[in-house]
Amino acid sequence: MAGPDAVQAPEPAVRLRGIWKTYSGGVQANRGIDLAVRAGSIHGLLGENGAGKSTLMKVLFGLVSPTRGGIELSGRKVRFGSPADALEARVGMVQQHFSLIPDFTVTQNLILGNEPTTRFGRLALRAAAARIQELSDRYGFRIDPNARVADMSVGARQRVEILKILHRGAEVLILDEPTAALTPQESAELHGVLRTLREQGRTVIFISHKLAEVIDLCDRVTVLRDGEVVGEREIGPEHRGPGPDRDAVERDLARMMVGRDLPAGPGRPHAPGAPVLILSGATDGGALAPIDMEVRGGEIVGLAGVEGNGQNELIELILGIRGCASGRILLNGTDVTRWPVDRRLRAGIGHIAEDRQSAALVMSMPVAENALLGYQNQPRFHRRGRWLSVQRIRDFAAELVRRFDVRTPSVRVTASSLSGGNQQKLVVGRELARRPSLIVAAQPTRGLDLAATSFVHEELDELRADGRGVLLVSLDLTEIMTLSDRILVVSGGAMVGSARPSEVDEETLGLWMTRGRTDRTGSVEAAAT
């Protein structure tokens, strides 16, 4: 230990030394990780799913106890048995799933567990709200303490989460993929808040797998892969503007994350064929305004929008889950407006459902039976009349597993034992086995790592090359921009914009998504310029 007079660099706000974490199943999530985070900086933690980022930060927050290794805060050794200990030491974490109670107001959420009261044991809500308002104003959170969380946008909720740990006195803030569900505008607003926090001396650890925002926001980035640190980079202002410096660091970080060079995005001519799907004035008579749109063979149409602006309703309308109140839906030139779901699927629609764990797969059923879902009425799976043939189902499933590289010990294990990426490969495989002329892909890469994401993208691209139509619904604008031939934007249940990727940038799309059409007569294309 250096004497009090020794001149030395200030101790890092957080130092992790040789963190090992082996879970009871034998999975080594962290393998000897060292990490130093400068006080008053934004430190990026970059890596694929399963790289060990979240585990490492749960160790720091006291949610997970490390198998080996130690934590120092500003040079002082600490040991956390629970998040309460970590909060006591002024370390707070916003986890990926929201920890707010939708039915409560911001104030109620923030005081929960540590409630101020008046003399008679009554909640001192007004005083608490005033303090939260003051905190919100100081860091530019723009949060109304009396608003109900259920009524707030996703971006606002994310800010409330951060406000919550600040309110508990956190000096070190750990944010686990905070922008995953945000629009570009909301992300930008969040970045602003984080920069203000940094100016005021707080330390932020920012977990992400989005390269661009890490470079925009962070002062230093540590990249994890397979539970180990594979590299660190200092990010300076020279890297933030567009140019060769930025490209170089981006390529560098990507290579470190994945362990190899990623294939370049598909550059390809757009030569659409005949329309496979036409909606003319189709509406459910409720959530959706009359919709006019078409998807042609050999093209990917990206549907962008803030979550909950009619995407799900539109998908249900196309599939026939939701009834069509007026207007028409044509599939390959045939009017399918009154057709039930099953008939439309047989006529050539494949559907990659948004929530694979509840809408696409039955988690407690074996892989083989999941592969069968939707095909159970096909004679090729029957024997002696309408009895299902277990053997034929398993053969079919095994074929899917092989063709789509689903990593599973057997087709007899339950879907729940597969990783998210492999579950999605199974769903994609099953839907493509239909050989659909139209595939409706709802958030097909949500929660997947880069490798699984690029698998799904390649499959969609192959469908396109094969002359089929793809409707890609995604909240990830980068995904929409890189994959789509045309982009449609929904807002409030209505189509508010249409453009080619080359004609717009993410900011413009974000504006359309949040503001919709500004007036009824002005065209959206005009608004884009």
- Chain contacts with another protein (rule: CB under 8 A): 83-84, 98-104, 108-109, 111-115, 117, 121-123
**C-beta of 114 vs 334, nearer to another protein:** 114
Whole-angstrom distance, CA of residue 490 vs CA of residue 514 = 9
**C-beta of 101 vs 325, nearer to another protein:** 101
Minimum distance from CB of 317 to another protein (Å)?
A: 23
How long a stretch of residues is the chain? 529
**C-beta of 102 vs 340, nearer to another protein:** 102
**C-beta of 121 vs 244, nearer to another protein:** 121
From 455, 478, 343, select the one nearest 405 (Cα to Cα): 455
Enter the tokens of residue 516. Answer: 């919709």
Minimum distance from CB of 88 to another protein (Å)?
A: 11
Whole-angstrom distance, CA of residue 163 vs CA of residue 181 = 18
Minimum distance from CB of 111 to another protein (Å)?
A: 8
Q: By the 8 A CB rule, do 277 and 337 touch?
A: no
Q: By the 8 A CB rule, do 417 and 366 touch?
A: no
Question: Cβ neighbours of residue 352 under 8 Å, at least 6 residues apart?
Answer: 360, 424, 427, 428, 431, 439, 440, 441, 442, 444
Minimum distance from CB of 123 to another protein (Å)?
A: 6
List, as one string, the DSSP characters of 122-161: -B-HHHHHHHHHHHHHHHT----TTSBGGGS-HHHHHHHH
Whole-angstrom distance, CA of residue 256 vs CA of residue 231 = 7
Give the CA diameter of the chain. 90
Minimum distance from CB of 150 to another protein (Å)?
A: 10
**C-beta of 109 vs 445, nearer to another protein:** 109
C-alpha angle with apex 342: 339 to 346, nearest 5 degrees?
A: 95
* Sheet strand arrangement including 438-442: 349-352, 438-442, 469-474, 299-304, 486-491, 494-499
Minimum distance from CB of 82 to another protein (Å)?
A: 9
Q: Is 453 left (phi over 0), alpha (psi -120 to 50) or beta?
A: alpha
Q: Give buried/exposed letters for 462-497 (b at 16+ CB in 10 A, else e).
A: ebbeebbbbbbbbbbbebbbebbbbbbbbbebbbbb
**C-beta of 44 vs 83, nearer to another protein:** 83
**C-beta of 158 vs 453, nearer to another protein:** 158
Minimum distance from CB of 117 to another protein (Å)?
A: 6
From 358, 292, 362, select the one nearest 327 (Cα to Cα): 292
Minimum distance from CB of 116 to another protein (Å)?
A: 9
Residue type, 76: R
Minimum distance from CB of 139 to another protein (Å)?
A: 20
**C-beta of 131 vs 195, nearer to another protein:** 131
Minimum distance from CB of 121 to another protein (Å)?
A: 6
**C-beta of 177 vs 189, nearer to another protein:** 177
**C-beta of 23 vs 405, nearer to another protein:** 23
Whole-angstrom distance, CA of residue 67 vs CA of residue 59 = 10
